[in-house]
Amino acid sequence: MSETTVQEPEFEADRAAGEPAFKVDLDGFEGPLDLLLELARRQKVDLSRISILELANQYLGFVEAARKLRLELAADYLVMAAWLAYLKSRLLLPAPPKAETNDAAGLADALARRLRRLEEIRRAAELLLNRPRIGRDVFARGAPEGISVASTPVYVATLYDLLSAYARQSQKHARAHVRMKPREVWSLVDAREALTRLLGRSEEWTELDGWLIEYCVDPKMRRSARASSFSASLEMAREGLIELRQESAFAPIYMRAAPKSSRSEAA
């Protein structure tokens, strides 16, 4: 138990006179049930015949001793101690009315059953862990060739799948988007056309912004027009159709038709 801080690993528990003293190493226990099981085992081999009252006494004595030694016990242990103290008091009461007799005995019984169940699962765990285990006792083939299954995927779909998929998505999309007004944009094609037309007129360096604003009457189109003609001008410059010039960042961009000679060189 990590919660249990143990200064001294071993100590002698407080025992009733005449009974043999024993040592318990708290560090090795996995909680109060585990401790109870250990105490019960010392009492008798057969768990079905242990005395719960005696077990409660031993446990409480253990906890008392631990306290004397200033051992810090985890909450789990203390809760169990409180419960056992309660159980002990009930078991020690002189014969109470019928209903209550069963209560105390029933509680004791339930505890005995829990202990037996833990014992059983531990026995099972031991049997399990002691089986010949792969990689420890028995070994698979060290270097299997392996069976290479080259699986060629064969895709299947029916015409119905195809058609219903088409209908589904086109209907969904039509409903979702048909009412949207198309955005007013100046396409790249438009921009390129305009630039080509402009280049026919101008052999001189022209300010891009200048003619742009002149061309686009509708102020709403300005952003789109600027973006599109900028892209188009870059593309045309790459094609060697025009030349571009800019003095510095954010300065106006000038353009002109490429001289005939350089155009033929590029081609």
Site residues (CB under 8 A) for another protein, limited to 21-80: 30-34, 76, 80
Closer of 12 and 239 to another protein (Cβ): 239
End-to-end CA, the chain: 83
Smallest separation (angstroms) from another protein to the CB of 244: 15
Binding another protein (rule: CB under 8 A), the pick from 16, 157, 180, 217 is 157
Q: For residue 153, state whether it binds another protein (rule: CB under 8 A).
A: yes
> How many other CB atoms are found less than 10 A from the CB of residue 40?
24
**DSSP conformational letter for 241:** S
Binding another protein (rule: CB under 8 A), the pick from 64, 72, 103, 166 is 166
Q: For residue 107, state whether it binds another protein (rule: CB under 8 A).
A: no
Q: For residue 82, state whether it binds another protein (rule: CB under 8 A).
A: no
Residue 191: partners with Cβ closer than 8 Å, 6 or more residues away: 225, 228, 229, 231, 232, 233
CA distance linking residue 171 with residue 165, whole number of Å: 10
Closer of 19 and 161 to another protein (Cβ): 161
Closer of 95 and 157 to another protein (Cβ): 157
Closer of 7 and 151 to another protein (Cβ): 151
> How many chain residues are in contact with another protein, going by CB under 8 A?
80
Binding another protein (rule: CB under 8 A), the pick from 23, 98, 141, 181 is 141
Closer of 139 and 250 to another protein (Cβ): 139
Residue with tokens 């009457």, as numbered in its chain? 217
Instruction: Tell me the sheet residues that pair with 244.
Output: 255
On the 0-12 / 13-18 / 19+ scale of CB atoms within 10 A, 256 is middle
Instruction: Tell me the sheet residues that pair with 11.
Output: 24
Q: For residue 217, state whether it binds another protein (rule: CB under 8 A).
A: no
Binding another protein (rule: CB under 8 A), the pick from 18, 20, 97, 135 is 135
Q: For residue 118, state whether it binds another protein (rule: CB under 8 A).
A: yes
Smallest separation (angstroms) from another protein to the CB of 71: 17
CA distance linking residue 13 with residue 159, whole number of Å: 82
**DSSP conformational letter for 206:** E
Contact 253, 212 (CB under 8 A): no
Which span (57-65, 85-93, 150-158, 245-253) binds another protein, by CB under 8 A?
Answer: 150-158
Helix (H, G, I), strand (E, B) or coil at 199: helix
